[in-house]
Structure 1
Amino acid sequence: MSAARNAREGAEAVEDAAQDVTEHPAFQAVARGGFVMSGIVHALIGAIALRMAFGGSSENADQSGALQAVAAAPGGNILLWIGGIAMAALVLWHLAEAWFGARASSREVKKRVWHVARTLGKAVVYAALAVTSLRFAAGAGSDSGEQTSSMTAGLMGSAGGRLAVVAVGLVVLVIGFAHVYLGASRRFEDQLRVPRGKEVARAIVVTGVLGYIAKGIALVGVGLLFGWAGLGADPEKATGLDGALKTMADLPAGSVVLAVIGAGLVLFGLYSVLRSRYAPM
């Protein structure tokens, strides 16, 4: 009994220490920097998409293209290290939020499960961006579209693998439609604490609505390409965000659509920067 009690007390002490760290103002300030870095990446992807829409860019309109642009700028390598570390802190904060949210007894079970799933999903997204940023900072960056195609090709050898690719496409589709819903319904405002009556509130609404919808449409395109790749057993179709935007550009009036999405992604980047100030922590 004493060993079990000691183990339980030790686990509780670790939990308390983790909660103290994630609630410390210094840690939270670093984690908020992760939102800023995410905003920079989204704004750069949007800018690349805008140049692509007007026929003036050969860069990848995805994370790798955006991070290459950051790395090429003066002091960009330092920014990548700082941004990668900030996003890693944001990942830890989301993981702690998911853990303590799962243990909260004040929430209904369904709400608690949804909160944990959503928070873990955010942690995964920021973890991928943190790792990619740190790889570019260390000089080991690569084309994310080629990586996606290569990984997809490894799954195409079996029916189960093709189903897995289609399943990924469906998940991305759902996430894309969820972004559109969040933007159109303005539900994202529930995740922020913005002082009412201030001009910044209006800026957050405008950038959030247009940004979420634009990002959602782009993600729907990615999901469709994954589904197409899985059903057609063609891994070259699953090239991620860059491939989705280039495919949109080839559609009738595609340049207009791409320009609108690019502008929306720039606005989503601005929203992410504003979110760094008003997201509750």
Structure 2
Amino acid sequence: MSDTNSGDSHTASTEYNNSSSTIGRVAQNSIFERFARAGFIGSGIVHLIIGYIAIRLALGGAGGTADQSGAMAELANKPGGGVALWIGVIAFAAMGLWRLVEAVLGSSSRPDSDSKLSRVFDRIKAFSLAVVYLAFAFSAWGFARGIGKSSSSQSTGFTARLMQSGAGSVALVVGALVIIAVGGYHVYKGASQNFLEDLEGSTSDLVRRLGTIGYIAKGLAIAAIGVLVILAVSQSAPDKSSGLDGALKTLGAQPYGVALLVIAGIGIITYGFYSFAMARSAKM
């Protein structure tokens, strides 16, 4: 009986290894890698537009939603925007799939992580990035088809539904704390310049400055989203939880809000430019 179980286990292991090997070969395909790297370019463009919308709002210009859905809506209204969005769907999906492969098989660029805990963290981070890029792909797909929806209104509606129960409110607070932690990690990564470990070859001073400023700015924006979720729960006001758009507009409503919102917009734009550097030099 044990021999039979051993044989079945060996067969299952062999099938898993063969499947993993196939997935790995697909991930290392040069064409697939180019599409995945294009995801960085798409992300950079989205951040540039978000930063532009934030600065425009600060200076009293035309309104808009300062988040990824607002950026894609803005792009959709430009000449050639529909084509750009369809390209974005492919690029974001490729990057999302790439990160999923890393979450399952581990990073090929860091096969010998320092510890098991480090490897687990890398896989969790890869899975989180996969979710982000696949969400970008889904949003771009919606706006390319003319049926895109505001992510801030979706966030508010989701928060309102969860706040209808005690368990939902607890889940929101836990989720908010996770978001704040992610924002804090981005700030730490920028301040410590740990992002340099993600890049291949020598790095110029310009790229280091872009990464430092960009990560810190994005981290503060992410943390602000988590803080707003906690405020929404504590005040039973789901409309306060409206994602990045709400965080930036809340910042603009503070004393010296115009200057703060302009600085935040510049910081997000800086991260957008750093994304272009990642498209060329990120380890994959």
Identify the TM-score tier after normalising by the shorter chain.
Answer: over 0.9
Deviation at 1:106, TM superposition (A): 6.1
State the match for 1:159 in structure 2: 166
State the match for 2:79 in structure 1: 74
Contact preservation (8 Å) 1:166, 1:231: no
> Where does 1:106-145 land on structure 2 (aligned, <5 Å)?
107-145=114-152
Distance between the aligned counterparts of 2:107 and 2:78, measured in 1?
A: 42
| Aligned partner (choices 200, 219, 226) of residue 193 of structure 1 | 200
State the match for 1:213 in structure 2: 216
State the match for 2:283 in structure 1: 280
Distance between the aligned counterparts of 2:219 and 2:29, measured in 1?
A: 33
Deviation at 1:9, TM superposition (A): 2.9
Deviation at 1:265, TM superposition (A): 0.6
Distance between the aligned counterparts of 1:62 and 1:102, measured in 2?
A: 29
Deviation at 1:108, TM superposition (A): 1.6
Deviation at 1:195, TM superposition (A): 2.5
**1:181 lines up with 2:188 in the alignment:** yes
| Residues 258, 105 of structure 1: alpha-carbon distance in 2 compared, 3 angstrom cutoff | closer
**1:58 lines up with 2:44 in the alignment:** no
State the match for 2:246 in structure 1: 243
Over aligned residues, Cα RMSD in angstroms?
1.7
Structure 2 portions without partners, runs of 5+:
none
Q: Deviations over 1:65-121 (max 9, x none)?
A: 100111111111111111111111111111111222289676421111111111111
Q: Deviations over 1:109-157 (max 9, x none)?
A: 1111111111111111111111111111122201111101111111111
| Aligned partner (choices 44, 48, 53) of residue 53 of structure 2 | 48
Identity %: 40
TM-score in terms of structure 1 length: 0.94
Contact preservation (8 Å) 1:162, 1:231: no
State the match for 1:169 in structure 2: 176
Larger displacement relative to structure 2 (97-106 or 33-42): 97-106
Count residues with an aligned counterpart: 277
Q: Deviations over 1:179-222 (max 9, x none)?
A: 111111111111111425xxxx1221111111111111111211
Structure 1 portions without partners, runs of 5+:
none
Contact preservation (8 Å) 2:50, 2:71: yes
